[in-house]
Amino acid sequence: MNSTRVYSDNGVSLPCEISGNILKWKASLNEGKNKFFIEFYKTSDPINCADTIPDSANRTLAGVVEKNTALSLSKINEFLATDYSTIKKSLDITSEFVVFLNLSKNLISYGKLPPHYVDVYSREFSLPVIETGEDAKINVLVW
């Protein structure tokens, strides 16, 4: 069994929450990049959130930094509730656009549909949704 502890950039251990088989860490995130350090400890005894991982260099496993990008349902809802012209102005977007989100087989569109006979640029990608773990398909059209 591997037990895990997560530290913020300043070395403070983050509080965690165990719900069934799901383990989550609670942190305040800032806009832009957020750094965390993860420490793994191999043990046959379960370690709970409030327990201390012993300082034993020969049992702590090394890891590598991994950058992940994911979506948050609350941020998606905030985006969808914001007026189109407000989004364009706040992000300094000069072109017209539409975003199609496929969330749990529900297709949601945001923005204007492109007129006929214009060049439309499209990018499609998938990102996991933090709350559900499912991939959301996103298609952005710009003209």
- According to DSSP, the β-strands at 36-42 and 22-25 are unpaired
Return the structure tokens found at 37: 């350090």
CB 116 within 8 A of CB 143: no
Return the beta strands (E) in 43-142 as ranges.
60-61, 97-103, 106-111, 121-128, 135-142
pTM exceeds 0.85 for this model: no
Q: Which residue has the higher pLDDT, 74 or 56?
A: 74
Q: How far is CA 137 from the centre of its chain?
A: 14
CB 127 within 8 A of CB 70: yes
Instruction: List the chain domain ranges.
Output: 2-61, 73-142
Tens digit of each residue's pLDDT (9 = 90 or more) over 75-127? 999 999 999 999 999 999 999 999 999 998 899 999 999 999 999 999 999 99
Residue type, 64: V
State the pLDDT at residue 1.
Answer: 37
d(CA 25, CA 7): 10
State the pLDDT at residue 77.
Answer: 93
State the pLDDT at residue 55.
Answer: 58
State the pLDDT at residue 53.
Answer: 60
Q: Which residue has the higher pLDDT, 30 or 3?
A: 30
Task: Kindly tell me if the per-residue pLDDT of 143 is higher than 80.
Answer: yes
